[in-house]
Chain A
Amino acid sequence: MTDKEFDKLIRSKFNHIETPVSPNLWNKIAADPQKRRRLLPWWQTTAYLYPIAAVAILAVVVAAFWLNGNLTALPHKGDSTAQETHEQTNLPNPSNNSNTSTHPPVQNEVNNNHTPHLEDSSNTSLTIQNNLNNIHPNTSTTSNSQKGTPNKSIGTLRIPTNKQAELVELTNDQLVTQAGVASAQRIQSPHPIEAIPETNNQWYALGKEKITSMYVQLPAHTLPSLLNESNHSIRHPLACPENKHRNVFIDVFASPNIATQQVRSTGVSQAYLLLKDSTERMKMGFTIGGRITKSIGQNWFVSAGIQYTQNNQQFVQKTENERKTTVVLVTRSITNELGVTTTFLDTTTVTEIGYRTKTFINQYKSIEIPIIASYTIGNNDWQVGLHAGTVLGISNTYHGYTYDNNRNLMSLNNSNNPVYRSQLQVGLVGGFGIYKKLNYQTTVFAEPHFRYALTNHQSATLHFNQKIQLTGITAGIRLQLNNLSKSSISLQ
């Protein structure tokens, strides 16, 4: 016998062998998966999976935004404009130099073009003009000599907040006192600078006149174009274009929702649909939540967050042929032939036949993750835009009453009667928004929106498809997370 024949015979022997197992073995096998499932840590159970995933995603997004914001606050190495800014930060403390009458260091800092000594008032004025022209390119000038001046800072001059304050005060004190009487007469300020704002809020609080007065103290023809702009346009003199592109906001919002219910039969009768339609009526619901919003470019925003939505539904059960028996008191008066009236008090029962209504409020609650992109246009104060995105329902709970397939009343509950979906639901949301800026850090907004449910609301145990569509107005407040006072700023 060859090896192959031997192997073949052995294999054929084992094809028909059946070995009995102990009866307890199957019990062990049946119990083992449940046992292992129970041994799963709580964070691996389905009930916690989606909320934990949502929180983790949010944490990563917030951390990314936070790191991004901090990185943008760092100086830009190799940026010629930033280097120029750095040079200007070498300005001496004005408070120390306010009484100095000779050789102030202003020429080294303010004059980028090797301006002659400041004792020459005309040259000093020219120097400041050049710099202000750099700051405000739209300013019309009368000096021909400016045209040939090389312009290192085109359009925008960026300097740190505190350094800007030094620059303004320098032009206020040193320039006026040292540039000569003629110039001083022209640049007297109706609002002398008392204290240099240190924060953006303080700058904002100064208002147009105050800030303008700082510029007024410079030669008149060098006034910035701010004067010709609207009052609102100087609300953000410190807004940095680069930071504007990297702004991160946190939105807190709430929305009343008007819900509509769509039911389509997949097996139930028309009578069932009519019964359901006459019994259930959607009521006002609401959404509350928060989200992180990041601007991309000038007009685009992306948002992601977490929100809670509750849809309310009035369920009115009407049962016919209901009998209601009431005990009533009956007073009878009997007058005999002698004219004596006797009053009797008796009881009897009255049975009413009719229908009875029972009213319940069904509640559908969802924890959701909205991911929305929006495009806005407008000025610094008012903006309008369109937004669209998706809403992922990660955890859904409900309680109340409904009819089963046989039109019997049954209670809704996640645990004992899972007739509605408790897992992921997906919807699309779209609408437009109106945004009003209150100050450099705060914006209020209203976003009328419509949400279309892509997934069915109910589970497969009911023979119909049910979707709930929402229409509402999201009202909220948007707070800027970036701290501009720590970063470089610009004069616009």
Chain B
Amino acid sequence: MTVCLRYAADTMEAEDMLQEGFVRIFNNMHQFKFEGSFEGWMRRIVVNVALKHLQKKRIQFSEIKDDVQQGPSIDSYALTSLGEADLMRLINNLPDGYRTVFNLSVIEGYSHDEIAEMLNIQASTSRSQLVKARKLLQQQIVELQKIAV
């Protein structure tokens, strides 16, 4: 469910993703060849379902601008002290393109070439989306820390 929530815009959409993901898992259980972890196999199916949902929404990947400012410096304490729910909310507040690339790259561990193939975009677009997403997320964390202080 957490995986779905990171890609979905809200809880209802996440539940739809999860439901469809489990149906696919049950229907394709015989295709699992015990070559890797079952959890990883399930996770991959759920991610694919989530991406399919996002493709239906036709997410836009805006190109990186040259005047992107250097992100605010963030210390590790600010991040470790951040709760999971707050972090999830911050990620959900990212634009769809940023959020998708950030999830695929940082959380799932896909390379930019793989992301480019999965999302049918350029690898450079994936890199730029990740850079911008990371900086925007750091900026939001800093601002959240200021409010907390």
Contact = CB atoms under 8 A, between A and B. Distances in A.
Contacts of A32: 19, 23
A387 B105 CA distance: 65
A43 B15 CA distance: 32
A337 interface: no
Contacts of A36: 23, 27
Given A19-B1, A19-B5, A9 B19 contact: no
B26 A33 contact: yes
A453 B56 CA distance: 53
Interface string B1-27: 110011000000001001100110011
A6 B84 contact: no
A39 interface: no
Interface stretch (A22-30, A162-170, A242-250): A22-30
A13 B81 CA distance: 10
A22 B23 contact: no
Contacts of B18: 21, 25, 29
Contact of B107 (A14, A16, A22, A28): A14
A243 to B, nearest CB: 50
A6 B19 CA distance: 32
B148 to A, nearest CB: 17
Contacts of A334: none
A18 interface: yes
B64 to A, nearest CB: 15
A9 B134 contact: no
Contacts, number: 63
Given A17-B2, A25-B18, A25-B19, A9 B84 contact: no
Chain A binding surface, main DSSP class: helix
Contacts of B74: 1, 6
B107 A11 contact: yes
B84 A10 contact: no
Given A1-B73, A33-B23, A16 B84 contact: yes
Nearest to A8: B106
B81 to A, nearest CB: 11
Contacts of A14: 2, 6, 84, 87, 107
B121 to A, nearest CB: 20
B1 A21 contact: yes
A401 to B, nearest CB: 35
Interface string B95-112: 000000000011101000
Contacts of A20: 1
B5 to A, nearest CB: 6
Interface string A128-164: 0000000000000000000000000000000000000
A229 interface: no
B79 A9 contact: yes
B84 A17 contact: yes
27 contacts: A1-B73, A3-B134, A5-B76, A6-B134, A7-B106, A7-B134, A9-B76, A10-B79, A10-B106, A11-B107, A11-B109, A13-B79, A14-B84, A17-B2, A17-B84, A17-B88, A18-B1, A18-B2, A19-B2, A21-B1, A29-B19, A29-B22, A29-B23, A29-B26, A32-B19, A33-B23, A36-B27
Q: Lowest 6 CB-CB distances: which A-B pairs, in order?
A: A19-B1, A7-B106, A29-B22, A19-B2, A17-B84, A17-B2
